[in-house]
Amino acid sequence: MVNTNLKKRDLYLQQLKAFQDTEMIKVITGIRRCGKSSLMKLMADELRSSGKEDKQIIEINFESMRFSEMTVKEFYDYIADRVLPEKRMYLFFDEVQRIDGWENAVNSFRVDFDCDIYITGSNAHLLSSELSTYLSGRYVEIKVLPLSFREFLDFHGYQVTERKTLTGQMKKRITDDEGEVCDTKELYEAYAKFGGMPMLADVGLEQDKVTAALDGVYSAVVVRDILEREKRKGQRTITDSLLLRKLMMFLADNIGNSVSATSIGNTLVSEGLLENGKRKAKPATHTIQAYIEALKESFIFYEIKRFDIKGREYLKTLGKYYIVDIGLRNYLLGYRDGDTGHILENIIYFELLRRGYDVAIGKLDNKEVDFIATKTDEKKYIQVTEAMTSPETRERELSPLQKISDNYEKLVIAMDPGLAQDQDGIKIVSAIEFLLG
């Protein structure tokens, strides 16, 4: 049966369809509740619409109690009993890492049956496990993120159209389901406050409901994907849920700032964040690092490295961290005003990832370029700022780009671009127009 109430996410659906009926196993990764399961259902619907029979499609969600005690042998037998002779099978396994030894089963399906395999997982350990050993070169990872600003508008019932301004430029316009023109800045502010978790389209954008929904995401990530998983791995490193939350709050409060495991430990102690009764102990640097790795593995924080533009090499010095969803940041820290510049930077970083870029921070002598975004045949140098209206800000944002001597595209993305005149070949663009592009 086709799921008529599912919102399309064409960016990811097209990636899946591009690898349909190849021997590549499609591995869909991303933080919990970001839409991986819905994406698999959308793909199954596409198959049915193209004429595949229901019996050719097998879907298992391993979070269901029905499959919670299944062994890897029972998993194999369950599929083997349902394979149709002379027919290609389509296998969809949601949160498959909950089965011990699942890699053996998935590899056996690939070898034993005529099948097309799709799996999801909420932890990067999925791909650092034996899967990569068994399936070297035989899987493709589809990295799913929470909703982009454009998707956020679509999920919440808004339409984006284009109109020509009096000066001949094409400008985006947003209307609601009654055709009323909406305040674009206001909608962006809602996105920057509540974030892009897809389930918010069901619960609505009231703060208490959003907080309750994001609390569920937090619990699922921390308990199921970090604390429980570490126990299953037999590595009892990540056992302190209080330290984990304090660390998450610290990283959330410092998105876009350079940090190290040592500096984090010092700050947590100096600010009294680790006091427990009379105890005030600094956690070891390797402990902080292990906790950060767990947060990265569960796709809640992403690390960005520095790249020396002149030396053309990645640097081992301090990196920066961005949080996968701004709504989660506000859930952790409280819905407060301020830090809008770093929030915009965070949003632009993930938009670049959605568009398929590898992203690094650029270092040029003593100056820094916010992002170097690269694809196979493309490179962009990008500065992100709130406003380009004052001469001081223009100088600060433009000077690092002006020092770069190659001919790749250079742009400043600003919430308020001013009169937005390009300068020295550097484009100055509206952040909202960029996000809607």
pLDDT by position in tens, the chain (length 437): 555 578 999 999 999 999 999 999 999 999 999 999 999 999 999 999 999 999 999 999 998 999 989 999 999 999 999 999 999 999 999 999 888 888 889 989 999 999 999 999 888 877 765 566 767 678 899 999 999 999 999 999 999 998 887 877 778 899 999 999 999 999 999 999 999 999 999 999 999 999 999 999 999 898 878 887 655 555 557 888 888 999 999 999 999 999 988 888 888 888 776 655 444 567 888 889 999 999 999 999 999 988 877 767 676 767 899 999 999 999 999 988 888 999 999 999 999 999 999 999 988 888 899 999 999 889 999 999 999 988 899 999 999 999 988 899 999 999 999 876 788 899 999 999 999 98
Task: Tell how strand 115-121 and strand 89-94 pair up.
Answer: parallel
Helices (H), ranges, 50-129 = 72-80, 102-112, 125-128
Q: Which residues pair with 303 in a beta bridge?
A: 321
Kind plus residue range of the DSSP H or E element containing 431: helix 431-436
Residue appearing with tokens 């949080």: 323
Give the sheet arrangement for strand 367-375, strand by strand.
Answer: 258-259, 313-323, 301-308, 358-364, 367-375, 378-387, 409-416, 427-430
For the sheet with 25-29, list strands across it: 57-61, 89-94, 115-121, 25-29, 139-143
Ranges of beta strands (E only) in 122-278 are 139-143, 159-164, 170-175, 258-259
CB 237 within 8 A of CB 230: yes
Q: What does pTM read for this prediction?
A: 0.93
pLDDT of 381: 95
Quick one: pLDDT at residue 28? 96
Q: Give whole-number Cα distances, 180 to 33, 133, 177, 183, 420, in Å.
A: 31, 54, 7, 10, 27
Q: What is the DSSP string of 176-195?
A: -TT--B--HHHHHHHHHHH-
Catalogue the E-assigned strands of 350-422. 358-364, 367-375, 378-387, 409-416
Closest CA to 105 of 66, 145, 78, 137: 78
- Residue 135 contacts residue 104 (beta carbons within 8 Å): no
Sequence-ordered strand ranges (E) for 165-296: 170-175, 258-259
- Whole-angstrom Cα distance, residue 223 to residue 364? 41
Contact 325, 195 (CB under 8 A): yes
Asked if 211 and 217 count as a contact pair (C-beta separation under 8 A), the reply is no
- Residue pair 413/434 in contact by the 8 Å Cβ criterion: yes
pLDDT of amino acid 424: 86
Distance CA 298, CA 30 (A): 8
Tell me the backbone φ, ψ of residue 424, rounded to 5 degrees.
50, 35
Q: How far apart are CA 410 and CA 353, in angstroms?
A: 18
CB contact burial 377-407 (16+ within 10 A = b; e otherwise): eeebbbbbbbebeeeebbeebbebbeebeee
pLDDT in the model for residue 265: 86
Q: Which residues pair with 238 in a beta bridge?
A: none
Q: What is the pLDDT of residue 277?
A: 44
Q: Which residue type is seen at 309? A: I
